[in-house]
Amino acid sequence: MFDKIKKIAVVIFLTLLIWAGAYLALEQVITESGTLNISPTTSPDLFVRFNVETPVRIELQIKGSASKIAELRKRLRADDADENRETLDFYYNVEKEKKDEPGTHDLDLVPFLNKSEKMKKPGLAVESCEIKSSDAKAIEVTVEKLTEQLVTVQCLDESGAVVEHETIEPTRVKMFVREGFTEPAKVTLTRQQIAKAREFPIVETPYIELPTGKPRFAAVRVKIKLPSMEAPDRILQPTIGFILSKSLKGKYNVELLNENELTSVTKFKATDGAWSAYKDKTPYQVFVEARDGDEAAEEVAREVIYNFPVEYVEKGEIKLNEARREAKFKLIPIPPAGSG
């Protein structure tokens, strides 16, 4: 009897094993999203662009056995830290595809995707591919041959305005550009970089912009020094404002003990723009800050805060031209409403 039961169990086990194998061998089709971009490894003398914005968002119908599809899904949904995590990001390299001659050609997406290691290695196949990021039904690839020439370097601020430089070394750099290109190569400086470059040289990489809107950087960096900001001397009798912590606000008033000293003529250095913004558009030029715990002190001494416009401070266009002043004050409790 036991042997009979044992044989039946073996038969059931083998049957389940065959069914499981048959299921895993069945082909499935899933839909997943991916991207297509132009390979960054293309030679510097080539300018390659699609007729649609990159990266191109695509939707793929992927076919494979149940086991391979399950493995793909697992890798696509793995955590970023997982070394086996997969992404359906594809890169088109005109040289590898032997399409690097100048001109325009159609990119047949399905055959291209199926040649990729992402599909070939796990034994999967793309059945169809739809472009999601554009109304275009197909992708055209345009290849241009660039020429190398010396290009003058120009400094700009973040708004695109030209920033006059004292020195740029070298003044011209070799770059691959389109035929008829006559513009300068650019170096865009942040406010912080502008302020630094007025004190000492900084090193940055020039770039040009191609029709895709993406910068193409030079192979060399340049050393930039901007003129020192020799702003004229200014004098002002500052207005005083107060900063109180949340727990002090509405409960205490600030009594300045040296108001005359704080509001006496103060010396600054500032450009015309910085001076106008500080003098005419800033309600309080100086702040006195009261902090928690100050209410328990008989007298508080603390440096004032000069309310310089941030954008001009970052460019080094305004600064105090004397020692920082110190406020002396005490906090006076506000009587409760209806008292006295």
- Domain residue extents for the chain: 22-144, 149-225, 233-333
Write down the H helix ranges in 243-296: 259-262, 272-281
pLDDT at 126 > cutoff 90: yes
Query: Quick one: what percent of the chain has pLDDT higher than 90?
Result: 70
Segment among 109-118, 139-148, 214-223, 331-340 with least mean pLDDT: 331-340
Q: Give residue-wise pLDDT tens across range 21-72.
A: 544 457 899 999 999 999 987 789 999 999 998 999 999 999 999 999 999 9
Reduced to 3 states, what is the DSSP secondary structure of residue 31?
A: strand
| pLDDT score of 7 | 56
Element (H, E) at 233: strand 233-236
Average pLDDT for 102-125: 93
Question: Which fold does the domain 233-333 belong to in CATH?
Answer: RNA Polymerase Alpha Subunit; Chain A, domain 2 (2.170.120)
| pLDDT score of 136 | 80
Quick one: which of 221, 189, 224 has its CA closest to 205?
221
Q: Is the pTM of this model over 0.85?
A: no
| pLDDT score of 23 | 46
Q: Give residue-wise pLDDT tens across range 149-186.
A: 999 999 999 989 898 899 999 999 999 999 899 999 99
Average pLDDT for 263-286: 92
